[in-house]
């Protein structure tokens, strides 16, 4: 069992191993967003429902997070094995995939026809893009597992977003380098979301291909091998998009690409939120210390936790990446976000507002010592000067 020595339990325990057990199926609302638009528009004649994905994630979820508040419970150490082995939780993630696929097929039918206006089709693409982005989160949960089936399901979940290299980069790149300047997916203090996105997207792609090339070389295989995890994942996208275009026509391609870009953008925006400005400690020998809960921003808002399979308990996830989502804990050591991920995504889109809210929290996390933060290199001198440390720049 993984030790819980560094994790403070919160709230009272109800006596059940998981008081939220029957809520996890609500996580399937996310892929269900792809099934809803046509029925909602049909029954209400309100075309705004083509945009139901952004409406739920960017409006409804932040409001519910604020109304419902924080979770307040952690699983007990003695329940770890019971929770980890309970296959109910696995099926809550497995079912994400067929619902996601059915929604994409329905959208392809609508994109191929003339019944919808271009604006309505764009709204449907935005909805599918948000589903695609949350699908990457399902892929993230499955990709951390050692079971062969779940790893293949992870690659399948990434097909809609065309972000198959995430399977390699997240597990072998990001987790190894998180909260260091070498990690493209760890945002730096002073770095806006719009500066971060190209660095993370391009850096993650380069890192994934380098990592997979090295792995194949060590095993005596070439890049063009059926054992290449990236090519396996990308081939699923080719088959998925190719099959949809063969069935419904090439005119759906722009919408397929748009929803994939939105999905990848949502993932990378969450990456920006999760590690902004945080920096791991150095050991006396100069190597980075092992990742601890203090190296990831945490949020324990109940609604988003259910919606995203505990992704917000990110501090425990990075400290103990082998833990399944239902066993993740909220840590007293972890720096806390002021709101759930859905709200923080909106905040990140406005850089001055983001810095006004997050920079003081980052500074407080390091007890006022800004030199402990992961600072954007080209802004380092100015940021240090702003804190009276011009000589240290």
Average pLDDT on 271-277 reads 96
Whole-number pLDDT of residue 392: 46
Whole-number pLDDT of residue 40: 84
Residue 38 lies in a domain: yes
Predicted confidence (pLDDT) per residue in 239-250, tens digit: 999 999 999 999
∠ Cα 211 292 312 (to 5°): 85
Residue 191 lies in a domain: yes
116 within 8 A of 19, measured Cβ to Cβ: no
CA dist., res. 33 & res. 185, Å (int): 28
Average model confidence (pLDDT) across the chain: 90
Whole-number pLDDT of residue 366: 94
Residue 16 lies in a domain: no
CA dist., res. 298 & res. 368, Å (int): 20
Average pLDDT on 35-60 reads 87
Residue 12 lies in a domain: no
Q: How confident is the model at residue 331 (pLDDT cuts 50, 70, 90)?
A: confident
189 within 8 A of 359, measured Cβ to Cβ: yes
Q: Say what percent of the chain tops pLDDT 90.
A: 74
Average pLDDT on 143-167 reads 91
Residue 197 lies in a domain: yes
Residue 1 lies in a domain: no
CA dist., res. 217 & res. 210, Å (int): 10
Predicted confidence (pLDDT) per residue in 362-376, tens digit: 999 999 999 999 999
Place of tokens 């949960």: 141
Please give the tally of structural domains in the chain.
1
CA dist., res. 308 & res. 186, Å (int): 20
Predicted confidence (pLDDT) per residue in 90-126, tens digit: 999 999 999 999 999 999 999 999 989 999 999 999 9
CA 66 to chain centre: 21
Residue 11 lies in a domain: no
Whole-number pLDDT of residue 10: 44
* Complete DSSP assignment for 167-212: HHIIIIIIHHHTTSTT-TTS--BT--HHHHHHHHHHHHHHHHHHHH
Residue 253 lies in a domain: yes
Question: Which residue range forms the structural domain that includes residue 329?
Answer: 21-387
CA dist., res. 279 & res. 109, Å (int): 47
């Amino acid at each position: 069992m993984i030790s819980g020595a560094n994790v403070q339990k919160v709230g009272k325990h109800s006596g059940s191993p998981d008081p939220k057990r029957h809520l996890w199926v609500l996580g399937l609302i996310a892929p269900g967003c792809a099934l809803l638009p046509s029925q909602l528009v049909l029954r209400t004649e309100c075309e705004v429902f083509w945009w139901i994905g952004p409406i739920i994630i960017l409006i409804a979820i932040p409001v519910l997070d604020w109304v419902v508040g924080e979770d307040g419970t952690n699983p007990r150490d003695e329940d770890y094995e019971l929770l980890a082995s309970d296959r109910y939780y696995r099926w809550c993630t497995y079912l994400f995939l067929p619902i996601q696929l059915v929604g994409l097929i329905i959208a392809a039918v609508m994109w191929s026809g003339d019944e919808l206006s271009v604006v309505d089709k764009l709204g449907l693409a935005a909805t599918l893009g948000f589903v695609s982005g949350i699908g990457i989160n399902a892929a993230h949960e499955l990709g951390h597992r050692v079971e062969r089936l779940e790893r293949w399901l992870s690659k399948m979940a990434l097909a809609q977003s065309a972000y198959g290299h995430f399977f390699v980069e997240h597990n072998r790149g990001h987790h190894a380098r998180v909260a260091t300047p070498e990690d493209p997916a760890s945002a730096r203090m002073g770095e806006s979301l719009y500066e971060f996105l190209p660095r993370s997207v391009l850096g993650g792609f380069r890192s994934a291909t380098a990592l997979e090339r090295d792995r194949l070389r060590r095993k005596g295989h070439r890049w063009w091998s059926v054992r290449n995890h990236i090519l396996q994942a990308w081939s699923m996208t080719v088959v998925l998009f190719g099959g949809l275009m063969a069935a419904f026509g090439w005119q759906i391609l722009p919408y397929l690409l748009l929803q994939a870009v939105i999905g990848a953008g949502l993932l990378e925006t969450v990456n920006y939120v999760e590690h902004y400005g945080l920096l791991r400690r150095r050991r006396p020998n100069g190597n980075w210390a092992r990742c601890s809960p203090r190296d990831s921003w945490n949020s324990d808002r109940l609604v988003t936790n259910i919606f995203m399979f505990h992704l917000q308990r990110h501090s425990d996830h990075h400290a103990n990446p082998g833990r399944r989502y239902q066993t993740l804990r909220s840590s007293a050591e972890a720096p806390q976000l002021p709101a759930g991920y859905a709200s923080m995504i909106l905040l990140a889109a406005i850089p001055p507002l983001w810095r006004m809210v997050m920079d003081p929290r980052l500074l407080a996390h390091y007890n006022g010592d800004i030199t402990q933060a992961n600072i954007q290199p080209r802004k380092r001198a100015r940021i240090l000067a702003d804190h009276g440390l011009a000589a240290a720049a």
